[in-house]
A and B are shown apart, each in its own frame.
Chain A
Amino acid sequence: HSNGHSCVGCVLVVSVIEQLAQVHNSTVQASMERLCSYLPGKLLLKTTCYLVVDMFGPDIIKLLSMDKNADVVCHTLKFCKQDPGQPLCHLYPLPKETWKFTLEKARQIVKKSPTLKYSRSD
């Protein structure tokens, strides 16, 4: 897999965002900002976090809000790819509907709705 490590990284980060929202019963946006606020300023960690949120936050918000799990989010954002002839790699149990249908629907969600300009709260 050409992008194995970025896929693991994406699924790990999106899982933490999703679980932070669950634990604190907050929105996905609030959860992403909470995660970035926890990171130290050293090594540009906090800056990088806000940069990533600015870039991918809107799509992550749309997808997680539609109950897509981290596998679906990361395949939709193309951090994970199923190369031709390769098995589908996923960490969480697969959704009930077919993967192809799930992924197609997720791509529609991201494509169709107007691109949210990410406006960081406060």
Chain B
Amino acid sequence: SNICSLPFLAKICEMIKSAIKNSVPFKDVDSDKYSVFPTLRGYHWRGRDCNDSNGMAYPGRRPDNWDIHQDSNCNGIWGVDPKDGIPYEKKFCEGSQPRGIILLGDSAGAHFHISPEWITASQMSLKSFVNLPTAITDELNWPQLSGITGFLNSTSGITEDSIYLRLRKRNRCNHRDYQNISKNGASSQNLEKFIESLSRNQLLDHPAIVIYAMIGNDVCNGKSDSVPKMTTPEKLYSKVMQTLKYLNSHLPNGSHVILYGLPDGTFLWDNLHNKYHPLGQLNKDVTYAHFYSFLNCLQVSPCQGWMSSNETLRTLTSQRAEQLSNTLKKIATRKKFTNFNLFYMDFDFQGIIKEWQKRGGQPWQLIEPVDGFHPNEVASLLLADVFWKKVQLQWPQVLGKENPFNSQIEKVFGDQGGH
């Protein structure tokens, strides 16, 4: 049963396990934490390496000698303009304040998604499972389509772009400078186990926008006695301060960190409990209430607190979430750091519900149908839209300026090597 016990697979199994455990790319020849391979923490999760045999060529670094001879920061801009002998990187990017986007998140940030086609018999066909191997090797996450670091076109038809694509549109010198440092089950309490996979050289790299978005697992667990297992404000405070100190010693000066609050998850039960789960649609026999109860009984629910018929428990869970959000807000208003500015933003799920209803949508359409818990792709991109507009309004310095050379970059370098 343990396929990894076969001698000829032992080594590769070991490498895959290490990549997943440490959240670093499985295939990374030059060990610079960037990869030319998509899954197994490859370029679906962080900018594609443009030279995997040179550890000093990777997305987000300041250009080496203005990239006269090679593209040292993988933004697709390099060489010298023959008309005036000025290096393109100098001409198009100097002074434009390039910056990267880094997410410290959980399964929501990584865009956890189990395709309903995999369990819907009435629609099942040869095509249904084509993307299953990719999903498995990305731990059932789709960061390449996520609201913060997504770079592929949305599959849900919504026109809103991810934060990364907006930063790239604002300044084409930001091309490929994204990192999705997220993990299923991540919370303030275990981030320290994988924060080292964040890649940023304080001296050599451009500043970054870091979004801290641990939006559920500090109050979500599968235990029947859910509340005692929730993170307390004191514990959250201590770990978040530890995280911020780590970031201050790793982020280039001029960076920004935005702490994202927790949502009010009572929305889940209120809008889903009497809807049929995909497994129950054929015979009209399984609702999300049944599904939640089954997971809770087995103690494998992603969030017993909110995915519960017990209204008191749902309320207690939301109260704790609000306490933790207030703790984050307090940190952001009181604490100062030398290498980055610190901000706090509410997780405004109610705001995107209103926006979605304005477009004729139903609230339950914003949640992943198979797990009945995670925000889906539409929700992630609507959240990105709200986030971008708030930052633009309140803290425009975070996003940097519009680069006046964008059109010229596009004219000379096209899609800059794509993703």
A116 at the interface (CB under 8 A from B): no
Q: Is the CB of A12 within 8 A of B124?
A: no
Q: Is the CB of A40 within 8 A of B132?
A: yes
A112 at the interface (CB under 8 A from B): no
A95 at the interface (CB under 8 A from B): no
A38 at the interface (CB under 8 A from B): yes
B297 at the interface (CB under 8 A from A): yes
Asked, given contacts A12-B119, A91-B290, whether A43 binds B137 with beta carbons under 8 Å apart, the answer is yes
In residues 1-56 of chain A, which contact B (Cβ within 8 Å)? Answer: 1, 4-5, 7-8, 11-12, 15-16, 19-20, 22-23, 35, 37-40, 42-45
A68 at the interface (CB under 8 A from B): no
Asked, given contacts A40-B132, A45-B129, A91-B279, whether A4 binds B300 with beta carbons under 8 Å apart, the answer is yes
A11 to B291 CA separation, bound complex (whole angstroms)? 11
Q: Which of B121, B122, B124, B294 contacts A91 (CB 8 A)?
A: B294
Total count of chain B residues near the partner, CB < 8 A? 28
Total count of chain A residues near the partner, CB < 8 A? 30
Q: Which of B119, B133, B286 contacts A42 (CB 8 A)?
A: B133
> What does the 1/0 interface line of B279-317 toward A look like (CB < 8 Å)?
100110110001100110111100000000000000000
B125 at the interface (CB under 8 A from A): yes
Q: Is the CB of B132 within 8 A of A45?
A: yes
Q: How far is the CB of B128 from chain A (nearest CB, A)?
A: 6
A82 to B137 CA separation, bound complex (whole angstroms)? 32
Q: Is the CB of A5 within 8 A of B132?
A: no
Task: Across the interface, name the chain B residue whose C-beta is closest to A71.
Answer: B294
Asked, given contacts A12-B279, A91-B291, whether A4 binds B285 with beta carbons under 8 Å apart, the answer is no
Q: How far is the CB of A75 from chain B (nearest CB, A)?
A: 12
B128 to chain A: which residues have CB within 8 Å? Answer: 38
B10 at the interface (CB under 8 A from A): no
Q: How far is the CB of B133 from chain A (nearest CB, A)?
A: 4
B126 at the interface (CB under 8 A from A): yes
A80 to chain B: which residues have CB within 8 Å? Answer: 298
Q: How far is the CB of A60 from chain B (nearest CB, A)?
A: 15
Q: Is the CB of A89 within 8 A of B294?
A: yes
A88 to B282 CA separation, bound complex (whole angstroms)? 24
- Tell me the number of A-to-B contacts counted with CB atoms below 8 Å: 75
Task: Across the interface, name the chain B residue whose C-beta is closest to A90.
Answer: B294
Task: Across the interface, name the chain B residue whose C-beta is closest to A39.
Answer: B129
Asked, given contacts A89-B297, A91-B290, whether A19 binds B132 with beta carbons under 8 Å apart, the answer is no
A93 at the interface (CB under 8 A from B): yes
Q: Is the CB of B132 within 8 A of A39?
A: yes
B158 at the interface (CB under 8 A from A): no
B393 at the interface (CB under 8 A from A): no
A118 at the interface (CB under 8 A from B): no
A92 to B277 CA separation, bound complex (whole angstroms)? 11
In residues 97-139 of chain B, which contact A (Cβ within 8 Å)? Answer: 119, 121-122, 124-126, 128-130, 132-133, 136-137
Q: How far is the CB of B418 from chain A (nearest CB, A)?
A: 24
A85 at the interface (CB under 8 A from B): no
Task: Across the interface, name the chain A residue whose C-beta is closest to B136.
Answer: A43
In residues 189-233 of chain B, which contact A (Cβ within 8 Å)? Answer: 222
Q: Is the CB of A38 within 8 A of B125?
A: yes
B137 to chain A: which residues have CB within 8 Å? Answer: 43
Q: Is the CB of B295 within 8 A of A1?
A: no
> What does the 1/0 interface line of B73-101 toward A look like (CB < 8 Å)?
00000000000000000000000000000
A87 at the interface (CB under 8 A from B): yes
A20 to B130 CA separation, bound complex (whole angstroms)? 18
Q: Is the CB of A23 within 8 A of B133?
A: no
Q: How far is the CB of B278 from chain A (nearest CB, A)?
A: 10
Q: Is the CB of A19 within 8 A of B294?
A: no
Binding site for A on B (CB under 8 A): 3, 119, 121-122, 124-126, 128-130, 132-133, 136-137, 222, 279, 282-283, 285-286, 290-291, 294-295, 297-300
22 cross-chain CB contacts under 8 A? A4-B222, A4-B298, A8-B298, A8-B300, A12-B119, A15-B119, A19-B121, A20-B124, A22-B121, A22-B282, A38-B125, A40-B129, A40-B130, A40-B132, A40-B133, A43-B133, A43-B136, A44-B3, A45-B132, A45-B133, A90-B297, A92-B286
Q: Which 8 A-B pairs have the closest CB atoms?
A: A19-B121, A4-B298, A89-B297, A4-B300, A42-B133, A91-B294, A20-B121, A1-B298
Binding site for B on A (CB under 8 A): 1, 4-5, 7-8, 11-12, 15-16, 19-20, 22-23, 35, 37-40, 42-45, 80, 87-93
Q: A20-B124, A43-B137 are in contact. List 14 more A-B contacts (CB 8 A).
A: A4-B222, A4-B298, A5-B300, A7-B298, A11-B294, A12-B279, A16-B124, A19-B279, A23-B122, A42-B133, A43-B133, A45-B132, A45-B133, A91-B279
